[in-house]
Structure 1
Amino acid sequence: MNKERGFSLIELVTVVVLLAILALVAIPRVLDLGDEGFKTAMTTVVTQFQSAINLSNQMCILQRWAGRDNLPGFGSGDVDFNANCLPSDTSGSNVLGANAARCMRIFQGVLSTSYTVNTTTTTDPDFLAGINGINCRFTFRRDSTTRRFDYGQSTGLVLNVVNP
């Protein structure tokens, strides 16, 4: 008696159907990992930014640097502070008041990161710096979902985090 070995047609069809169902469930989840990556990136930047603001505020208070320029030993050494001991610029300005260029310089001055920031999209930055009232606004540009956060120069708080 000669027995043949191999899969029957029913077994083969069953395996193909199971693989198709698995693919229908798994592929959308794999494709959605990009969104999770963007969420993680945004959460990381917001956390780093708030930590840098808190650290710089404490250093400014300890060194009695309120209203002065270029706090030594912090960031690139060119961060300027307002009367509340909060980062206000990197170009010799210690007053409250937001404009996009100042916000960009604050981001660059307090964070040591590979993420780029600019006031225009011409250089294709990761974050677009702008203003929201008297606060700085940083909008993440690498995702179709709007992700942004605001920095309050008078309070030192990261506010209005959208889709972290």
Structure 2
Amino acid sequence: MNKQQGFTLIELIIVIVILGFLAVTALPKFIEVTDDARQASVEGVAGGFAAAVGLVRSQWEVDGKVSNNAGPNITTLEYDRVTVGLDGDIGYPTNRGTSNSQVTAMTRQDCKDVFDLILQSAPINTVNSNNAKDSRYYVQINAAGSNSPQCIYYLTNSLDTENLANLPGSEVPNGSITDGFSYFPATGQVTVF
């Protein structure tokens, strides 16, 4: 006589219950991993950006702050083989160094230029809402032309890229939760949100 061997119905049910229990307890952890990874990515870029801002300002200090120690304040410097514009009174990066480099004159394009210039391999970023889907960061400015503008770098996969034209210059648009960081060129402060 041939005896068939296999799993009994009870054994199969026990295995399914165990797998279900594991799925219920482990699934929330895997869902949180995606959010944690996105936040860690932003924190890594923001940390590199903050370090680069500090290095540019340190170089400005080392160079003596003023031209020939008697002339006007230094408004550009060579950083990693590129010219970076900075506010000559405070020494923080503001633009490419091709026009007025005072903090009060900053534009969205200047915020993008600072991002591209001081990071050696900057993530793809844009100021154009039409290109946001193909970029890692969307650049905005809050209070352009004020005494203390704020550059805002949104992680694009945390935004509704269909409605970027309506995005206000603030860290948390329309009350939604987003990921990114901001840069205050008047103080050099970088803040992750």
- Name the structure 1 match of 2:102: 95
Deviation (angstroms), 1:4:
6.1
Root-mean-square deviation (CA, aligned residues, Å) is 2.1
> Secondary structure of 1:88's partner?
strand
- State the Cα distance separating 1:114 from its structure 2 match: 4.6
1:116 aligns with 2:124: yes
1:128 to 138, 152, 168: 138
1:67–1:80 Cα contact (<8 Å) kept:
no
**Whole-angstrom distance in 1 between the partners of 2:84 and 2:140:** 19
Q: Cα deviations across residues 75-117 of structure 1 (Å, max 9, x unaligned)?
A: 3412112121111100423211231111111111111235111
Cα distance in 1 for residues equivalent to 2:127 and 2:81: 20
- Give the helix-richer structure, 1 or 2: 2
Q: Are residues 20 and 36 of structure 1, via their aligned partners in 2, closer, same or farther at CA, if it must alter by over 3 Å?
A: same
> 1:52 Cα shift?
0.4
Alpha carbons 2:115, 2:122 under 8 Å: kept? no
Match of 1:148 in 2: 180
Q: TM-score, normalised by structure 2?
A: 0.73
Of 47-56 and 8-17, more deviation after overlay is shown by: 8-17
Q: Please, which runs of 5 or more residues in structure 2 have no aligned partner? A: 66-72, 144-148, 160-176
- 5 Å matches for 1:13-162? 13-65=13-65, 66-69=73-76, 71-72=77-78, 74-82=79-87, 83-92=89-98, 93-97=100-104, 98-124=106-132, 125-133=135-143, 134-143=149-158, 145-159=177-191, 161-162=192-193
SS of the equivalent of 2:186 reads: coil
11-20 vs 37-46, greater mean Cα deviation:
11-20
Is the 1:132–1:150 contact (alpha carbons within 8 Å) kept by the matching residues of 2? no
Q: Provide the C-alpha distance between the structure 2 equivalents of 1:46 and 1:123, rounded to a whole number of angstroms.
A: 22
Gaps of 5+ in 1: none
Distance 1:91 1:53 in 2: 15
CA contact (8 A) 2:142 2:152 kept: yes
Question: Closer, same or farther in 2 for the Cα pair 1:114/1:87, shift >3 Å?
Answer: closer
What percent identity do the matched residue pairs reach?
23
Q: TM-score, normalised by structure 1?
A: 0.85
Tell me which amino acid in the other structure corresponds to 1:151: Y
